[in-house]
Amino acid sequence: MAMARAYLDNSATTRPCEAAVAAMTECLRENWYNPSSVYKPAVEAFRRVREARENVLRGVHGDGYELIFTSGGTEANNLAILGAVERMRGKQVVAVSGVEHPSVLAAFEALKRRGHDVRVIGVCMDGELDWDALEAALSDGASLVSVMQVNNETGWLLGGEKLYRFVNGRALVHVDGVQGYLRVPFDMKWADMYTLSGHKIHGPKGVGALIARKGVRLDPRQIGGGQEGGMRSGTENTPGILGLSAAVSELRRLGPDMPDGLMRKKLRLVEGICREVPEVTVNGAAPEASAPHIVNIGFPRVRGEVMLHALEGEGVYVSTGSACSSKKLKVSAVLTAAGLPAGEAEWAVRFSLSPHTTEEEIDYAARKAGELYRQLVRFQRR
């Protein structure tokens, strides 16, 4: 299998860092005991899980909040949304942005089938929520609002202090932080619930977490032995949890300037592609006004899927949208929901970076995008 010359699909998954691999390997070889047992090696495993919980919480200033380890972002989102509403009495009004990850939208579809009043809040192409629609939902008694911190396709900054202040305690606020955790600063005082995933931050797949304000009542989705405070039964994935914690520590060691470093790389990529292909469009907010690691670019008259595979042939790995739905959808539902014509949404390619992305990768990807576009556009219908 050919090695990537430029891996720019970090919103789909990231390469596990050496610290995460080492932590998992050590756990599998030496510290493999069940944290629920009571003899000394098992107690040591329990202590490490507790330290990992505290470490992950520090990434969002979450001291004093509850953290429930899960199998990933999807399970964490389901637990937050379905778990919260199931504990409420009667039919609920609930609100969700129209550009969420499938794991969130599917959870709200399930609520709708159960008779709850689901309000879908629009988002325009500059990444602004339809605040009037959200106010209408809140005025009608909405009990839960769910908005992602960073949109996985465009980099829109949606969930944060502005949203929390707008809601102003009238409803629980759930923020899907899978694409934002550690790459965009966040403080748990801006949310009642927050979800994250290990494999988006150079940790392992199969582990994530839901962080919740103390006092938020949840109905567990998985029952049995009562692990994770009864909120997520099943023997803890100790290797995954320790791998996640190691990845968190490594990213936090990069310091508070890490988001600025990511932004410089993203702007270098955008400038390089625009220099090579002046006719490209940036879908979403201006690059400097969105998340520092995601940019969605339209290559006029060349379908994103065609550009993706052409770049793949040159060792540049990108995507056309959410990895969870890319095999199912031909046109981005996120872009069309925000008002982009379907024909233009077909041109979209997502580039997503990590702190480990090099300038050499960025420059190579920009150059190859220009070369390939000039070849491909000649064969496309006008």
pLDDT for 4 equals: 72
In tens, the pLDDT along 1-25 reads 556 799 999 999 999 999 999 999 9
In tens, the pLDDT along 62-72 reads 999 999 999 99
Q: Domains along the chain?
A: 6-14+256-379 (3.90.1150.10), 18-253 (3.40.640.10)
pLDDT for 382 equals: 52
Give the ranges where 119-257 is alpha helix by DSSP (H): 131-139, 161-167, 238-253
Mean pLDDT of the chain: 95
In tens, the pLDDT along 211-224 reads 999 999 999 999 99
Yes or no: say if 169 and 43 are a contact pair by the CB < 8 Å rule.
no
Q: For tokens 């009571």, what's the residue? A: 38
Yes or no: say if 79 and 231 are a contact pair by the CB < 8 Å rule.
yes
pLDDT for 379 equals: 80
pLDDT for 106 equals: 98
Across the range 65-93, mean pLDDT stands at: 98
In tens, the pLDDT along 304-351 reads 999 999 999 999 999 997 555 545 556 899 999 999 999 999 999 999
Residue 373, CA distances (Å) to 275, 277, 380 in order: 12, 8, 11
pLDDT value at 151 more than 70: yes
Side-chain-side CA neighbours of residue 279 (13 Å): 10
- Which among 216, 238, 217 is positioned nearest to 227, based on CA atoms? 238
Cα–Cα distance, 356 to 346 (Å, whole number) = 29
With b for 16 or more beta-carbon neighbours within 10 A and e for fewer, the 54-80 pattern comes to ebbbebbebeebbbbbbbbbbbbbbbb
Query: Which pLDDT band holds residue 168 (cuts at 50, 70, 90)?
Result: very high
> Could you tell me what percent of the chain has a pLDDT over 70?
96
Yes or no: say if 305 and 326 are a contact pair by the CB < 8 Å rule.
no
- Which among 6, 10, 15, 12 is positioned nearest to 317, based on CA atoms? 6
Catalytic residue set: 324
Ramachandran region, residue 301 (left: φ > 0; alpha: ψ -120 to 50; beta: rest): left
pLDDT value at 297 more than 60: yes
Yes or no: say if 120 and 96 are a contact pair by the CB < 8 Å rule.
yes
Across the range 128-142, mean pLDDT stands at: 98
Instruction: Give first-to-last CA distance, the chain, whole Å.
Output: 36
**What amino acid is encoded at 337 in this protein?**
A
Q: Quote the pTM value.
A: 0.95
Q: For tokens 């600063």, what's the residue? A: 185
In tens, the pLDDT along 174-202 reads 999 999 999 999 999 999 999 999 999 99
Residue 79, CA distances (Å) to 82, 149, 191, 193 in order: 6, 17, 15, 10
Cα–Cα distance, 209 to 176 (Å, whole number) = 11
